[in-house]
Structure 1
Amino acid sequence: MVATNVKAETSSLMEKRSWLEAEMNTIIARLSQPGAPGLSGNLLDSEGFPRSDIDVPIVRAERRRLAELRNDYTDITEKINQNIQILHSARLGNNNRSSPFKNSDNDDGSDIQTSSTVETVASTPSQNVLLSLSPNSMDVDVLVSRPFAVVDEIADASPAVEDGLQLGDQILKFGNVEAGDNLIQRLASEAQSSMGQTVPVVIMRQGTVINLTITPRTWQGRGLLGCHFRIL
């Protein structure tokens, strides 16, 4: 019963997290469109007055809302990770309590115990968590991901655009970079060291995890990708 309740709560949390992602992406797209101030651009002109080409109160309100959504996203992701650990522990407990039975196909009559496949990849909140259990146990197949950066600027005809990256995409993994400190420097180093070579990139777009391959390369614009990552 506990596992069933936790599963239901986790499913609800993941749905809510998808809504948060969709709203965040919408706000990011509005703030990052041509002529907009971006996620952190100056709202004052060169003389220190509010810019006349944008609606400053609305921009400030959207930035505040985006900060609130990010905090909620972090809290929900941590709760999802906690629930997955509960489900994992409960599954292991059930395996330990289950009674072994004799396999009629085993010629030596030895007792064996059935088990379900459990695959866990990176259980810390800052990384991806993949937990798969067979239908005979808890029927759970959950992917939990926490983006560490978002594409807040991207140039037309850039390598990033040509290879499939879009404004508002949230970065889960860029080559060997997933999380940690000095992310901007590590992303730049990863792109430079992979110039002319394909880099596997995992993104989240509108709540969907997508795998891309991007090739950092020189082009008519600045940088090797033609986009800017904002660390979350």
Structure 2
Amino acid sequence: MVAPNLKAETMGLMDRRSALEAEMDAIIAALSAPGGPGITGGLVDAEGFPMPDIDIPAVLAQRRKLAELRNDHKDITNKIEKNLEVLHSTKLSRNEQSIPTSSGTTASLHSGLSQNDPMEEDAVTGLPFAIIDELTDDSPAAVDGLQLWDEIVKFGNVEAGDRLQERLVSEACSNEDCQVSLVIIRQGSSLNLTVTPRKWHGRGLLGCHFRIL
């Protein structure tokens, strides 16, 4: 069956992407440690001499590795997005079709799958539609437990579909100061969380950005 196989491939890609993100975070943390040069900071002093307290070859190697990991992350993300498009379009087309039953009559695809092939009906269940690619410290999202690179499967009443960005904003605004349930994937594991959209000293009600996949 194409859909379950594609789902398995997509989940594998998500695991690989999570591993890349962990490796990137480790490099960024090392470069950004106190006294470190940062991701793009200069490696020479005002007079053009190499900074004596920095292992320049090691920093250059880390930065090159980070650039490679980012390119790999972009390639995998693009592949995941294409797979999700196929999975979602497959589910939609199947829900619109009807299939023959053993007696020769027709029944809705949903009914047929629920009785005969739950794997097909569940082909895209648990697949995320957005990822947190920006998260501000001390924001409502961070305080309530969300983390960078969390993948969003469900946000309140919002699941995969059309006008996702608009629906996410609407869901957050309509639930200001109220708990919103989430289903996320974090490093390959599914988690249930709640977040309360609320005013704080920063922008928005959550302080994070959802990038639609």
Same fold at TM > 0.5: yes
Mapped contact 1:172–1:202 kept (Cα < 8 A): yes
AA matched with 1:29 = A
The structure richer in helix per residue is: 2
Q: Deviations over 1:40-69 (max 9, x none)?
A: xx95336999x9656221111111101110
| Corresponding residue number in structure 1 for 2:186 | 205
C-alpha distance in structure 2 between counterparts of 1:85 and 1:187, whole Å: 21
Preserved CA contact (<8 Å) 2:96 2:109? no
The structure 2 residue matched to 1:59, chosen from 66, 70, 86, is 66
CA 1:206–1:87: 2 relative to 1, 3 Å: farther
Structure 1 unmatched ranges of 5 or more: 1-6, 101-112, 120-131
Pairing of 1:19-58 with structure 2 (within 5 A): 19-33=12-26, 35=29, 43-45=39-41, 53=59, 55-58=62-65
Instruction: State whether structure 2 residue 125 is matched by structure 1 residue 133.
Output: no
Per the TM alignment, residue 74 of structure 1 is displaced from its structure 2 partner at its CA by: 1.7
Q: Which residue of 2 aligns with 1:98?
A: 103
Given candidates 189, 196, 208, the residue that maps to 1:228 is 208
Task: Determine the C-alpha separation between the residues in 2 that align with 1:181 and 1:46.
Answer: 42
Q: Letter of the aligned partner of 1:118 in structure 2?
A: H
The CA deviation at 1:203 is 2.2
Following TM superposition, by how much is the alpha carbon of 1:195 offset from its aligned partner in structure 2, in angstroms?
3.6
Of the candidates 147, 168, 171, which is equivalent to residue 149 of structure 2?
Answer: 168
1:231 is displaced (CA, Å) by: 1.7
Contact 2:135/2:147 (8 A) holds in 1: no
Alignment size in residue pairs: 190
Could you say which structure has the greater relative contact order, defined with CA pairs below 8 angstroms and 6 or more residues apart?
A: 2
Q: How far 1:73 sits from its partner (Å)? A: 0.7
Cα gap change, 1:81/1:215 in structure 2, threshold over 3 Å: closer, same or farther? closer
TM-score by length of 1: 0.58
**Paired-residue identity, %:** 25
Q: Is the 8 A contact 2:141 2:195 kept in 1?
A: yes
Q: 1:24 to 1:225 in 2, by over 3 A?
A: farther
Which residue of structure 1 aligns with residue 75 of structure 2?
Answer: 68
Where 1:35 maps in the other structure, the secondary structure is: helix
What is the rounded CA distance, in whole Å, between the counterparts of 1:150 and 1:117 in structure 2?
34
Which letter does structure 2 place at the counterpart of 1:138? D
Say which of 105, 110, 118 aligns to 1:118.
Answer: 110
The 4+ residue runs of structure 1 with deviation greater than 4 A are 46-49, 51-54, 85-90, 175-182, 185-193, 221-227
Describe the shift of the 1:231–1:165 C-alpha distance in structure 2 as closer, same or farther (beyond 3 A).
same
> 1:181-207 CA distances to partner (integer Å, 9 max, x unpaired)?
694x87667546644211233323344
TM-score, normalising length: structure 2: 0.62
Give the superposed CA RMSD: 4.3
